């Protein structure tokens, strides 16, 4: 009996020591120390608007009379991922909106489930509150391509044309409990930042990309947004089914893909085009972000498609 009691105490002590060690590791690697405030936002570029889900950071440019194009960024890089293309479209006569999805950049990070409805409501409210001329064209890269497809299927009357750039096609469901996934994300924040360079074929041409990415990681709620999106949105995504539904709407679609994409291989484009009728632009010498690496090829093609 005494032996069992000693073993029980040993287990308790080990559990306590393990919890303390886990907290020390978490505290050491945790980058989320700050809150997003009004004073901080005053010193940033762009504009802010209060929506039902929270404050949203956005930029809107181009002539009021231009056709409206809404740019949807990827999984974790906020709206600066559209630098270059945003200005190019505005200069060519389009009314262009780009914004930080909830949990990214300088938009709020609500402590909620990041499911389809959260993303849908944010985009729909932006279109309405900014009095954008409807229907709009949606352009999404990676995760933004998935969002563009889903939003169009759910709100066909709001969308005219769709541009999908290296869009997410398949998603997997994690069996790891979400709170553990958030802990793992917390202690591997530097890997998350450095991993952004894998989206380029020529990362040396973008030496400031990681430094531009890191600031958003300092504000509480960033990793929750990413992990919760994986568990509440991406895990339920069926690319074949959703692209089939988009095809049934008979809307003009342009599919752009970097031939050297290692994040989402171009072979996925075959699966998409098997169910979705789309103009297809495979881009040589480019990876996951072809409109950045081959802007001289992709941007004029975007303008041509959107003007038709």
- pLDDT the model gives residue 178: 86
- pLDDT the model gives residue 245: 95
Residue 10 exposure: Cα atoms within 13 Å on the Cβ side: 6
- Would residue 266 be called left, alpha or beta, if left means φ above 0 and alpha means ψ between -120 and 50 degrees? alpha
**Tokens 């169910």 belong to residue:** 275
The pTM is what?
Answer: 0.92
What is the β-pairing status of strands 68-72 and 95-99?
parallel
Question: Over pLDDT 90: what percentage of the chain?
Answer: 78
The CA-CA-CA angle for residues 213, 62, 158, to 5°, reads 85
Q: Which of 67-81, 168-182, 257-271 has the lowest mean pLDDT?
A: 168-182
- The tens digit of pLDDT for each residue in 93-127 reads 999 999 999 999 999 999 999 999 999 999 999 99
Exposure string of 224-248, with b = 16+ CB inside 10 Å and e = fewer, is bbbbbbbbbbbeebebeebbebbbe
Exposure string of 260-296, with b = 16+ CB inside 10 Å and e = fewer, is bbebbebebbeebeebbebeebebeebbbbbbbbbbe
- The better pLDDT of the pair 182, 55 is held by 55
Q: Compute the average pLDDT of residues 244-260.
A: 97
Q: Compute the average pLDDT of residues 138-162.
A: 97
What is the β-pairing status of strands 47-51 and 54-61?
antiparallel
pLDDT at 83 over 60: yes
Query: Cβ contacts of residue 296 below 8 Å, gap of 6+?
Result: none
- pLDDT the model gives residue 151: 97
Q: Which of 38-52, 171-185, 232-246, 285-299 has the lowest mean pLDDT?
A: 171-185
pLDDT at 258 over 70: yes
pLDDT at 67 over 90: yes
The CA-CA-CA angle for residues 46, 117, 274, to 5°, reads 95
Q: Which of 29-38, 145-154, 252-261, 280-289 has the lowest mean pLDDT?
A: 29-38
Q: Compute the average pLDDT of residues 23-29.
A: 59
Sign (positive or negative) of CA dihedral 38, 42, 44, 48: positive
306 burial via Cβ count (<10 Å: 0-12, 13-18, 19+)? buried
- pLDDT the model gives residue 236: 77
pLDDT at 166 over 90: yes
Query: In the beta sheet, which residues pair with residue 254?
Result: 163, 279
Q: In what order do the strands lie in the sheet with 253-258?
A: 47-51, 54-61, 95-99, 68-72, 136-141, 159-165, 253-258, 279-283
pLDDT at 7 over 80: no
Please state, in angstroms and rounded to a whole number, the distance separating the CA atoms of residues 172 and 223: 18
């Amino acid at each position: 009996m005494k032996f069992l009691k000693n073993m029980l105490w040993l287990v308790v002590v080990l559990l306590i020591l393990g919890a303390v060690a886990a907290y020390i590791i978490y505290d050491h690697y945790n980058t989320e120390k700050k809150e997003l405030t009004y004073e901080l936002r005053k010193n940033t570029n762009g504009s802010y608007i209060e929506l039902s889900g929270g404050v949203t950071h956005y930029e809107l440019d181009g002539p009021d009379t231009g056709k409206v194009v809404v740019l949807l960024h990827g999984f974790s890089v906020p709206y600066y991922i559209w630098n270059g293309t945003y200005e190019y479209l505005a200069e060519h006569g389009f009314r262009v909106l780009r914004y930080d999805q909830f949990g990214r950049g300088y938009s709020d990070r609500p402590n909620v489930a990041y499911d389809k409805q959260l993303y849908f409501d944010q985009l729909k409210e932006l279109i309405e509150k900014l009095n954008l001329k409807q229907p709009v064209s949606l352009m999404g890269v990676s995760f933004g391509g998935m969002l563009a497809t889903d939003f169009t299927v759910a709100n066909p009357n709001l969308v005219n044309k769709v541009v999908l750039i290296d869009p997410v096609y398949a998603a997997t469901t994690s069996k790891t409990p979400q709170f553990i996934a958030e802990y793992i994300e917390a202690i591997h924040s530097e890997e998350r930042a450095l991993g952004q360079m894998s989206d380029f074929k020529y990362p040396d041409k973008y030496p400031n990309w990681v430094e531009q990415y890191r600031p958003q990681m300092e504000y509480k709620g960033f990793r929750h947004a990413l992990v919760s999106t994986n568990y509440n949105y991406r895990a339920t995504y069926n690319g074949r089914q959703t692209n089939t539904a988009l095809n049934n709407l008979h809307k003009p679609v342009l599919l752009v893909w970097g031939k050297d994409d290692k994040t989402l291989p171009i072979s996925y484009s075959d699966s998409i085009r098997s169910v979705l009728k789309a103009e297809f632009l495979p881009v040589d010498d480019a990876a996951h972000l072809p409109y950045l690496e081959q802007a001289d090829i992709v941007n004029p093609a975007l303008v041509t498609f959107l003007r038709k």
